[in-house]
Chains A and B, each alone.
Chain A
Amino acid sequence: MTSRVALRWVASAAVLAAAVAFPFWASRAEPYYLQIAINVVIFAVLALSWDLLARTGQLSLAHAAFYGLGAYTSALLTLRSGLPVPAGILLGGLLAVVVAGGLGILTLRLRGIYFAIATLAFSETLRVTTNQLRFTGAATGLVVPPLLGGGRVAQYLVILGILLLVIAISAFVNRSRWRYAVTAVRANDEVAATMGVNVVQVKVAAFMVSAFFAGITGAYYGHVFLFISPIEVYSLAVSVGALVAPIFGGLYTTAGPVIGAAVLRVGEEILRTTIRSGYLIIYGLILAVVILYMPRGLAGVWDALWRRRA
Chain B
Amino acid sequence: MVIFGVLRSGLYSLAAVGLALSVGVIGIVNFAHGEFLMLGAFLGYWLFASYGVDPLLAIPAGAVGIFALGAAAYRSAIRRVLRAPELNQMLLTFGLSIFFQNLAIILWSGDPRVATVSYKAAAVSVGPLVVGLPQLVVFVLAMTLTLALYAVLGRTRIGKAMRAVAQNRLGASLVGIEVDRVYLLAFGVSTALAGMAGLMITLQLSVSPFMGLLYTLKAFAIIVIAGLGNINGVIYASLVLGLSEAFVEFYVPGGGGWAEGVFFLLILLVLILRPRGLFR
Which residues on A are within 8 Å of B, measured CB to CB?
59, 106-107, 109-110, 112-114, 116-118, 120-122, 124-125, 128-129, 131-132, 236, 240, 243, 247, 275, 277-281, 283-288, 291-292, 295
Contacts and interface: CB of A to CB of B under 8 A. Distances in A.
Contacts of A240: 94, 98
Interface of B: 29, 77, 80-81, 84, 86-88, 90-92, 94-106, 109-110, 213, 217, 220-221, 224, 254, 257-258, 260-261, 263-265, 267-268, 271-272, 275
A288 B102 contact: no
A288 B99 contact: yes
Nearest to A123: B264
Contacts, number: 117
A129 B96 CA distance: 28
SS of A interface (majority): helix
28 contacts: A107-B271, A107-B272, A110-B272, A113-B29, A114-B271, A117-B217, A117-B267, A118-B268, A120-B217, A121-B267, A121-B268, A121-B271, A122-B268, A124-B217, A124-B264, A125-B261, A125-B264, A125-B265, A128-B261, A129-B261, A132-B254, A240-B98, A277-B109, A278-B104, A281-B102, A286-B95, A292-B81, A295-B88
Contacts of B267: 117-118, 121
A267 to B, nearest CB: 15
Given A132-B254, A287-B94, A288-B77, 7 more contacts: A110-B271, A118-B267, A118-B271, A128-B261, A281-B98, A291-B88, A295-B88
B92 A121 contact: no
A131 B268 contact: no
A131 B257 contact: yes
Contacts of B92: 287-288, 291-292
B276 to A, nearest CB: 11
What are the 3 closest A-B residue pairs judged by CB atoms, nearest first? A287-B95, A284-B99, A284-B98
Given A59-B90, A281-B99, A284-B98, A292 B268 contact: no
Contacts of A59: 87, 90
Nearest to B214: A124
Contact of A284 (B97, B261, B264): B97
Contacts of B260: 128
A285 B92 CA distance: 9
A291 B275 CA distance: 28
Contacts of B81: 291-292
Contacts of A129: 261
Given A107-B272, A121-B264, A128 B80 contact: no
A278 B275 contact: no
Contacts of B91: 243, 247, 287, 291
Nearest to B105: A278
A125 B261 CA distance: 6
A110 B91 CA distance: 17
Contacts of B220: 117
A273 B263 CA distance: 37
A236 B209 CA distance: 14
Given A125-B268, A132-B257, A292-B77, A283 B98 contact: yes
A297 to B, nearest CB: 11
Contacts of B261: 124-125, 128-129
Contacts of B213: 236
Nearest to B80: A292
Contacts of A110: 271-272, 275
Given A107-B272, A125-B268, A292-B77, A116 B98 contact: no
Contact of B96 (A113, A125, A279, A288): A288
A132 B86 CA distance: 35
Contacts of B94: 240, 287
A112 B27 CA distance: 13
B95 A285 contact: yes
A59 B94 CA distance: 12
Contacts of A287: 91-92, 94-95, 98
